[in-house]
Structure 1
Amino acid sequence: MEIALNIGLKYKEEKTVTMNDTARVFGSGAAEVFATPMMIGLMEAAAMNAVKSHLPEGYSTVGISVNIRHISATAVGKKVWAAAELVETDRKRLVFKVEAFDEDKKIGEGTHERFVIDEQKFMNSLK
């Protein structure tokens, strides 16, 4: 099936940082600040949701690549958000520009790639 998605699709995913989102709790560091893996997950969610409603029934996307810089720390209690914009398509491969911010500054940036899948075929291939 041919999937045509328009360049420029955008989405913003947001949350408030809790202790469960920290590097210390996640196991990715000792500091009680927003963990890099949590930031990347927020970016992935924004990218997924940017195209989700534009896909045919039974189709979704899976992450295949992340190239992210975590450029500034964020304290517990701060609001954070990730913005994703579809900037390139190559058949079923999708490339997103992603950025993350807290209430005061940009905290992360990079690119994220996803691949469009037929959910049933994908799951059957794992059996």
Structure 2
Amino acid sequence: MTFTLLFLFFYLGACWGSFLFLVYERTRLSLSIAFPSSHCDFCKNKLPYWSLFPIFSYQIGHHRCCFCGSVISAQSLHIEFLSGIIFLCYHQLFLENLFFAVSLMLVSYLATEDLAIKRSNTSLLAIEVQQKS
């Protein structure tokens, strides 16, 4: 397996982790996960595209908002990195079994939602079970 492909799996995981962190934060605050688009939690400015790359934007921006300079939580970096490592560990299963990959992503989403608000959208789980049958 080439380094490039392994890096892509890691980065896909980091992107998924970034999304899960967004789901957790916005669900916990009873906000939509779709709107508004990514913005600074303090000054509410919409983030430019170059600030949306997991891990890299945190490091390049010195863990601060590019508009107001407020500190960005290290939790997001940790979750993105951990998700990247998990995807990297399971990359072979993802390649062999798309159902496994989708299931792992769905369960991680439901777990994040449950952690944030102590309930989950079980209709998503029913769709996944129907697909398997």
Report the TM-score when normalising by structure 1: 0.29
Higher helix share: 2
Where relative contact order (Cα < 8 A, 6+ residues apart) is larger, the structure is 2
